[in-house]
Amino acid sequence: MTVNKIISKISVTLILALISFTSELKSQELKSPDGKLILNLELDSKGTPKYALSYKGKSVIESSDLGLQIKNQPSMIEGFEIEETEKNQVDESWNPVWGKQKTVRNHYRELKIKLVQPEHQNRYIYLRFRLFNDGLAFRYEFPKQNTLNYFVIEEEITEFSLAGDHKIFWIPGDYDTHEYSYTTSKISEIPEKMDGATVNINAQTPIENLAIQTPSMMKTDDGLYINIHEAALTNYAAMDLNVDPDNFVFSAHLAPDAVGNKGYMQTNTTTPWRTIIVSDDATDVLASNMIINLNEPTEYEHTSWITPMKYIGVWWEYFVEGKSTWAYGTETNVKLDQDFNKLTPSGRHGANTAHIKEYVDFAAKHGMDAVLVEGWNIGWEDWIGNWKENVFDFTTPYPDFDVKEVNDYAHSKGVKIMMHHETSASATNYERRLDRAFEFMKEYGYNSVKTGYVGQIIPRGEHHKGQWMVNHFIHVAKRAADYEIMINSHEAVRPTGLHRTYPNWLAQESARGTEFEAMGGLAPEHASILAFTRLIGGPMDYTPGIFQTDLSYYGDNQQRVNTTLVKQLSYYVTMYSPLQMAADLPDNYERFPDAFQFIKDVAVDWDNSWYLEAEPGDYVTIARKAKNKYEWFVGSMTDENEREATIDFSFLPEGENFVATIYADAKDASWDQNPQNYTIETVLISSETILDKFIARGGGLAISIKKATENDFNELDIIK
């Protein structure tokens, strides 16, 4: 038993377990521990369960249907009776392996309802609701019973009937990709904006009816913040949301499999949790631990091999310079096991031994933990677009990449090489080679891998967000754990807090990340929407740290990263991840060593976090304390508008003085003008300090804080 588990167990407080047996009860009420949220559950005249949710007396979810359509069996939608209800309250704390805070409190009231269908041999399910102070979660549970063993889901019909035409930050519903830009509109405006929102993405399957994705972030006219997502997505398809734009009703839309089924179920199972985070303060949404609390504790016996990290990589140069490539050969039609011993070198292969060593030297010099190397292995000549199964073998380097020499060199300097497994979405090929791929990694001393799933899924007809692929991603994480390998998955289904259960699954992409800055750019507001959407499910490998934002610096490239340099710094705090890339080229960091110092200093694991200011789509200001270190870091980012951030340092210990190094946009900076103009000042602060600081259009702010020394007092200004 790990320390983690022991702490969990001793802190559990089971206050109340109230079990009622009745078939007459038609409605139930549950209040959150602080009483602000109230859930109502009732059966309508057809025996369909309906739930409603209010916050401080305001309706959040109006009466909404619950249930599932089952294939070739009676539906689980109507004809229910409530046979039994049970209420519990839990207040416990637990320590994640890594995270935004050292200790997480899990505090909720629970209502469990047994729903029986007398007309179908008393077949029954449970509805389990958990009401936290910051939101509602519920799921369907299917116990083992004589009259129900295996069943196939045609559709989950769970509804979310919203109380008004809210402002919503949304991307189009899609079975395969999350990499859309966000649109901000009223719910009623989604239809007219859907076409423009559905831009081309490699391997996309937009949902045919009107639908959007989760996490779905909304704001009501009267100032409520509502976030709908799911937690603990295992052995089930990911949920998108059908949109009824006239009545403001969303309903579950699961990703289908190759034959159109949406879930293969065996009783003694549950759906994922459907989550609704609610508050009248946007920072509560960022601070919410509801989703991670709803996931299962890890069963890994040892976790000391799991280490948050900073890394650089042979990656951004492929996008911006146009000089180097993933591929080694000039051929455009190659076969694994046939053609790779006779490739014609292009002379532009990025992942060559000498070049990697330059990155390793840089990493060693600046304390980066690892160097990602993309394009090291055979297969890149025609890896994309052909729905081809055997593109990569994950164990054969190109001839100019000496896997042993590179790793030995890196290890001699205290640096790890991060493996790269692009699967080209051929999950079958990856699975059959997985043990061998991981054995290869162990042989050469790799301890982490970035996985990629660009393209149409194989098994053909499956989707990135379907049940089969959901299970695949978990399978890879679990099998990686067998080899003590950490995973950073790209193009995987968006996270739902599973990193609690599989803490070696450090981070994911699963959204439009920095790479799109080199392919059309991201809106300046993008990151401040992501913080309220994609990041609600778990850490993102956003790959920040681009200092050279104007890509014409590289010659013909007309692209531009739509942030100031300082905003890139702020991401290391605002865009939480235990895995942070310094994504720019080493040369660019050498040009701005004073700004790069923040990236070198910033922590990647935390004792605690404070959410100071936030408004979805506009700005986010967060402070965090480094894990097991007397250091704090603050990040603030804004959208296309300049603003003055207000940093209240009351999160610092009282009665002490600290040195704050403040990285700020220069007055003349903005994402499109002088983005590299910044100021760095070092000042003394205390827990009583309140700092108002200019942030440029598309800009940011980054502050590192440590305890002041005697010397600091003599040299630095004090800010109150």
Smallest separation, CB 124 to a copy of itself (Å): 15
27 Rama class: left (phi>0) / alpha (psi -120 to 50) / beta: beta
- 39 within 8 A of 129, measured Cβ to Cβ: yes
Smaller CB distance to a copy of itself: residue 20 or 268? 268
The least CB distance from residue 502 to a copy of itself, in Å, is 15
Q: How far is CA 234 from CA 103, 342, 486, 506, in A?
A: 25, 43, 19, 17
543, 530 in Cβ contact below 8 A?
no
Report, in Å, the least distance between residue 329 CB and a copy of itself: 14
Q: Give the nearer residue to a copy of itself in terms of CB position, either 463 or 624.
A: 463
Nearer to a copy of itself by C-beta: 368 or 434? Answer: 434
Amino acid letter for position 94:
W
Cα separations in angstroms, 594 against 566, 569, 622, 631: 12, 12, 22, 18
What would the two tokens of residue 81 be?
């009776």
CB atoms within 10 A of CB 198: 17
Burial level of 539, CB count in 10 A (0-12/13-18/19+)?
buried
Q: Which is nearer to a copy of itself, 31 or 335 (CB)?
A: 335
Q: Which residues pair with 252 in a beta bridge?
A: 241
User: What is the nearest approach in angstroms of a copy of itself to the Cβ of residue 381?
Assistant: 11
Task: Give start and end residues of each alpha helix (H) in 423-562.
Answer: 427-444, 467-482, 526-530, 534-537
| CB of residue 149 to a copy of itself, shortest distance in Å | 5
Output the DSSP codes for 334-367: --TTTSTTS--B-S-BS--HHHHHHHHHHHHHHT
Nearest C-alpha neighbor of 47 from the set 85, 3, 96, 81: 81
Nearer to a copy of itself, 436 or 667 (CB): 436
Amino acid, single-letter form, for residue 527: A
Please state, in angstroms and rounded to a whole number, the distance separating the CA atoms of residues 227 and 216: 5
Per the CB < 8 A criterion, the answer to whether 225 and 284 are in contact is: yes
Nearer to a copy of itself, 244 or 431 (CB): 431
| Residue number, 110 or 155, with CB nearest to a copy of itself | 155
Minimum Å gap between C-beta 154 and a copy of itself is 15
Residue 37 CB, nearest approach to a copy of itself (Å) = 34
Provide the β-strand partners of residue 137: 130, 275
**Shortest Å distance, C-beta 201 to a copy of itself:** 19
Task: Report the catalytic residues.
Answer: 515
Minimal distance in Å, beta carbon 459 to a copy of itself? 3
- For residue 524, give both structure tokens: 């300046």
Alpha-carbon torsion 318, 319, 321, 323, what sign? positive
In the complex, the residues that contact a copy of itself under the rule CB under 8 A are: 144, 149-150, 257-259, 261, 264, 266-268, 332-333, 335, 338, 382, 386-389, 428, 431-432, 434-436, 459-462, 468, 471, 475
The smaller minimum CB distance to a copy of itself, of residues 471 and 608, is found at: 471
Task: Check residue 454 and give left, alpha or beta (phi > 0: left; psi -120 to 50: alpha).
Answer: beta
Distances (CA, A) of 527 to 61, 213, 279, 570, 670: 27, 17, 21, 11, 16
Tell me whether residue 236 or residue 606 sits nearer to a copy of itself (CB atom): 236
Shorter beta-carbon distance to a copy of itself: residue 263 or 513: 263
DSSP code of residue 202: S
Output 365 or 432, the one with its CB closest to a copy of itself: 432
Q: Name which of 434, 428, 423 is nearest 479 in CA terms.
A: 434
Do 466 and 263 touch, CB atoms closer than 8 A? no
CB of 456 to a copy of itself, least distance (A): 10
Within 8 A by CB and 6+ apart from 260, the residues are none
The least CB distance from residue 388 to a copy of itself, in Å, is 7
- For 107-148, give the DSSP string: EEEEEEEEEEEGGGTTEEEEEEEEEETTEEEEEEEE--BTTB
CA distance 137 to 274: 5
Inter-residue contact 180 to 499 (CB < 8 Å):
no
Contact 250, 160 (CB under 8 A): yes
Instruction: Tell me the closest approach of the beta carbon of residue 547 to a copy of itself, in angstroms.
Output: 40
What is the Cα–Cα distance from 462 to 465, expressed in whole angstroms?
Answer: 8
CB 376 within 8 A of CB 420: yes
Give every CB contact of residue 351 below 8 A, 6+ residues apart in sequence. 314, 326, 373, 374, 375, 376, 398, 400, 401
